[in-house]
Structure formats: C-alpha cells, structure tokens
Amino acid sequence: MAGDTGNIKVKIDNVRKVFNGRNGEMIALNGVSLDIKENEFVCVVGPSGCGKSTLLNIIAGLEELTSGKVYVDGKEVQGPGTERGVVFQQYALFPWLTVRKNVEFGLKLKGLKQEEVGKIADKYIKMVDLEEFANSYPKELSGGMKQRVAIARAYAVNPEVLLMDEPFGALDAQTRTQLQSELLDTWEKERKTCFFITHDVDEAIILAQRVVIMSARPGRVKEIVDIDIPYPRTQETKMTKKFLELKNYIWSQVYQEYLEVRK
C-alpha cells in the first residue's frame, strides 16, 4: 500500500539472488532489505564479491531477482525506467557515438527539443571537463575520461534516483575529489535520491547520510551507520574528529568482512 511507504523512495524487501554458474548455485544476495528515503544519499560499502553491483542492477531493473521485491515510489520494479539513472562500474558508453552524442542520447529519448538537448549536454560535458573531447569517440579516451562521460550522461537526464556503482573508482585523486564536490553541490541543490557504491570509506562518509555495510557473500545488510555530520561538507570535514571516528569504525567493520572472504 502506498500509504505504508510514506516518503520511502526505494524499498528493497527481502531480496535474494542466486546465480546458476559453472560451479553450480551461487547465492549472491540473501535476504537484503533496505528502505531508502526520498532525497536520501545512501552509500554502500562491503568486500569485493559481496553482491553490491548485483543489488544495484536489480534496483535498476537490469537483473532479475530470485525472490523478494524492489519498489520505487511504491511500484514494483519490473525493468529499467527513466526515473532511475545508472552509472555502471564499467563505464558503458555507446562506442559508435561521440562524447556529445552519448550525453545527448537519454535527453533525446525524453523527447526534448534539439536546442535544449544541446544546452544541457554542454552543461554536463563542461562539468566533467571534457569540452575539448566533445567530438571524440570513446575509444579515443582514457578510462577515467570514459567514466566522466558516463557520469555526465547519467546526470544530464535528471533522474529522480541516481544509482552509481563505484563511479569515481577509475579516476585520479584530484578528479575524484573534484567530482565528489560537484556531486555534493548538486545533491544539496536538488536532493535526488542517491544509491552510491564505493570501496572508499572516506568517500562514503563525505557523501552519505547513511552508510550501509554489507557482509561477505552471501551479501546481507550487516549494519547501517548514520553519518551525523552536517552539510555542506568539504575536504576539511575529513580532518574532523567525528569523521575520523566514523572512518575507523566503518573501516574495521568492512575489514572484518574482508577477512571472512579470505577464510
């Protein structure tokens, strides 16, 4: 019932995912439940292979779940939708389109006029600092540049929910810091619901209102940590006592799970 979900934007209800791989059944997710509120910024951390990308792909409607349900605005997810924008872990660009055409792609799907499409594409290509490469093709770009195109493309369509899978993972430290700041600015202005996966605990704390720690495979929600640091957050925030306490705590929890994987 819609009334029951209140201001919950994304509801993940007891999701289980079993892959039938070469070595038989593999339980990737087991009983994952999480409510993400409207306007909330949630980061997800956990050891490699714990099912973070699988969960994101299920929310995106790109991967089928084995059991359980995912709802967006109280409606069950049964496939992809334009209200959910995705930045994949492996930048998924159209190789036959230029940077500009890649960014414009979703805008055209939305039926915007060419003049507006061009203006919005300009804004986001500038945001990721790729004006000089607007007419280049993906194969002419470095990994980090491709990822910046993927980010521009996701932001440009202005989705209600942003699903981001380690979007800054392939970037150098300076670009990464720059894009974290841009994302924080954008989020403070527009307050989109964000589901953001990262390996970087600093990044999770600087961005999120809540950090979800996942357990080693089969992935479950191990713990949810409230990040009670007010916004705006800046690079200086990373030097505060509160930040360092949270960092130590979350890092040790993730490390425990990492050790589980190695057992």
Ligand X SMILES: Nc1ncnc2c1ncn2[C@@H]1O[C@H](COP(=O)(O)OP(=O)(O)OP(=O)(O)O)[C@@H](O)[C@H]1O
- Binding interface with ligand X (CB under 6 A): 19, 21, 26, 28, 48-54, 89, 217
Q: How far is the CB of 214 from ligand X (least distance, A)?
A: 7
Question: Could you tell me which residues are beta bridge partners of residue 69?
Answer: 13
Contact of 162 with 85, CB cutoff 8 Å: yes
Question: Could you tell me which residues are beta bridge partners of residue 10?
Answer: 36, 72
Q: Report the distance separating Cα 208 and Cα 161, nearest Å.
A: 14
Q: Which SS3 state, helix, strand or coil, does residue 211 take?
A: strand
| Interaction partner, residue 128 (Mg ion, ligand X, none; CB < 5-8 Å by kind) | none
| Interaction partner, residue 229 (Mg ion, ligand X, none; CB < 5-8 Å by kind) | none
| Interaction partner, residue 147 (Mg ion, ligand X, none; CB < 5-8 Å by kind) | none
Q: Residue with structure tokens 């409230």?
A: 226
Q: How far is the CB of 51 from ligand X (least distance, A)?
A: 4
Q: Residue with structure tokens 């705590």?
A: 249
| Contacting Mg ion within 78-107 (CB under 5 A) | 89
Q: How far is the CB of 166 from Mg ion (least distance, A)?
A: 6
Q: Report the distance separating Cα 29 and Cα 219, nearest Å.
A: 4
Q: How far is the CB of 20 from ligand X (least distance, A)?
A: 7
Angle at 224 between CA 242 and CA 11, to 5 degrees: 135
Closest to ligand X by CB, 49 or 68: 49
Structure tokens at 39: 């306007």
Task: Give the x/- contact pattern for Mg ion in 45-64, rule: CB under 5 A.
Answer: -------xx-----------
Contacts with Mg ion by CB under 5 A lie at 52-53, 89
